[in-house]
Amino acid sequence: MYVCLCKGITDSQLRAAIADGGSEFKRLKKELAVGSQCGKCVPVAMAILAEENAKAGLYYEVA
Ligand code: FES
């Protein structure tokens, strides 16, 4: 499914980038440009990031 409509980024692309070492949102934003336009996708992207980090045993605090 599409997470970021502005940039055409899917959850699969996001999960792949996270698996490739993108455990911080700022890195995902830099690499994929997720959340860089309207920002409406940020909460969903952050939830996916938290879910993937939890699966990997990492903890990511949402400020
Ligand atoms: Fe992601 Fe607009 S939906 S920046």
In tens, the pLDDT along 3-33 reads: 999 999 999 999 999 999 878 999 999 999 9
Residue 26: predicted pLDDT:
93
Report d(CA 18, CA 16) in Å as an integer. Answer: 5
Kindly state whether residue 30 falls inside one of the protein's structural domains: yes
**Token code pair at residue 5:** 């409509």
Q: Give strand pairing partners of 2.
A: 10
- Residue ranges of the alpha helices (H) in 1-63? 11-19, 25-32, 42-55
Nearest protein CA to atom 3 of ligand 1, as residue: 4
Q: Which atom of ligand 1 is nearest to the CA of 9?
A: 1
Kindly state whether residue 60 falls inside one of the protein's structural domains: no
pTM for the whole thing? 0.86
Kindly state whether residue 28 falls inside one of the protein's structural domains: yes
CATH code of the domain covering residue 14: 1.10.10.1100
Q: Which atom of ligand 1 is nearest to the CA of 45?
A: 1
Structurally, the chain folds into a number of domains equal to 1
Kindly state whether residue 50 falls inside one of the protein's structural domains: yes
Q: Which atom of ligand 1 is nearest to the CA of 36?
A: 4
Domain span at 46: 2-55
Percentage of the chain modeled with pLDDT above 70: 90
Kindly state whether residue 45 falls inside one of the protein's structural domains: yes
State whether the beta carbon of 10 lies less than 6 angstroms from ligand 1. Answer: no
Kindly state whether residue 44 falls inside one of the protein's structural domains: yes
